[in-house]
Amino acid sequence: MVAQLIDGKAIAARLRQDLAVEVAAMTAQGHRPGLAVVLVGEDPASQVYVRNKARQTVEVGMESFEYRLPASTGQDELLALVDRLNADPAVDGILVQLPLPPQIDATTVLRAILPEKDVDGFHPTNVGLVATGAGGIVPCTPLGSMMLIETVRRDLAGLNAVVIGRSNIVGKPMVQLLLAAGCTVTVAHSKTVDLPGLCRRADILVAAVGRPEMVRGDWVKPGAIVIDVGINRVTGADGKSRLVGDVAFAEAQAVAGAITPVPGGVGPMTIACLLHNTVKAAAVRRSLVPA
């Protein structure tokens, strides 16, 4: 058996097409949704992410506001910018790119963003709303992962799900989405006893631990849906670097029912869901289209 390949790149493209239609409708009603992205410093990976976000924002018809600040920027200066963006009616979503320089406390900055403009879904208000099933903005990577799962199977009620990783950005919100879908969910981490055995019981296995190819093929239940959130750069015996996930892809593909590749799986969905969250935020704030 060879697993179905979950093509995140194609699914993200379809989502952006749908968003472009929504953005056009909202623009015709008098407001073009706007996303502000703030980058502090010159981290190479962050620069690539910000550039891709800005390009895709424009491609779906939204306004893109980009702020690039030097690595020496102080916390008060950054908070002042966040305050201005909070008050700017043209800005519907605010994203402060992480990581931030050491002189800036990321938690303080993220909590300064208005919850209704927090398109990353990191503000405690949104975390609480998502956890209690009362709405809120869902973090982009878990939201995209859930969308990918639902392209394979819509009704998830009663399935066993295992999430490897308990970060606030991916693991914990992923658990909340799976619980809301009716799954029985187990959170695994570095201290989990018999992790391979636990994974073998999972109908849905989400790997978000940041360890290259940690999940082996014999950890996977035959027919399971495997979502690989990891993006790790490794160097092969030939000296060339390549990207791999947290799952040993070739091994797992021979056992799973469906699996995401790395790259081309969850990654493209993350930015698409950022755009989705911005459109949703604009709609909710202005009642331009149904949320």
Contact predicate 268/141, CB 8 Å: no
The model carries a pTM of 0.94
Is residue 264 annotated as involved in ligand binding? no
All CATH 3.40.50.720 domain ranges of the chain, comma separated, are 140-267
All CATH 3.40.50.10860 domain ranges of the chain, comma separated, are 29-118
Higher-pLDDT residue of 291 and 180 is 180
Contact predicate 71/40, CB 8 Å: yes
Residue of 56, 92, 97, 172 with catalytic role:
97
pLDDT, tens digit, 9 for 90 and up, residues 103-161: 999 999 999 999 999 999 999 999 999 999 999 999 999 999 999 999 999 999 999 99
pLDDT, tens digit, 9 for 90 and up, residues 211-229: 999 999 999 999 999 999 9
Residue of 53, 172, 221, 280 with catalytic role:
53
pLDDT, tens digit, 9 for 90 and up, residues 226-256: 999 999 999 888 888 899 999 999 999 999 9
Compute how many other C-beta atoms are within 10 angstroms of the C-beta atom of residue 151. Answer: 16
How are the residues of the chain apportioned to helix, strand and coil, as percentages rounded to the nearest 5?
Answer: 45, 20, 40
pLDDT, tens digit, 9 for 90 and up, residues 170-179: 999 999 999 9
Whether residue 1 has pLDDT greater than 80: no
53 is catalytic: yes
| pLDDT for residue 278 | 98
Is residue 227 annotated as involved in ligand binding? no
120 is catalytic: yes
Q: Which long-range contacts (CB under 8 A, 24 or more apart) does 138-141 make?
A: 138/173, 138/177, 138/273, 138/277, 139/169, 139/170, 139/173, 140/269, 140/270, 140/271, 140/273, 140/274, 140/277, 141/169, 141/170, 141/208, 141/229, 141/266, 141/269, 141/270, 141/273
Local confidence band at 291 (pLDDT 50, 70, 90 cut-offs): very low
Contact predicate 257/220, CB 8 Å: no
Report d(CA 185, CA 113) in Å as an integer: 31
| pLDDT for residue 45 | 84
Lookup: tokens for 234:
């490794």
Q: Indicate the SS3 state at residue 115.
A: helix
| pLDDT for residue 236 | 82
Residue of 56, 117, 118, 120 with catalytic role:
120
Is residue 137 annotated as involved in ligand binding? no
Q: What angle do CA 275, 280, 286 make, to 5 degrees?
A: 125
Is residue 166 annotated as involved in ligand binding? yes
CATH fold label, 140-267: Rossmann fold (3.40.50)
Residue with tokens 């506001």: 65
The second-level CATH assignment, the architecture, of 29-118 is 3-Layer(aba) Sandwich (3.40)
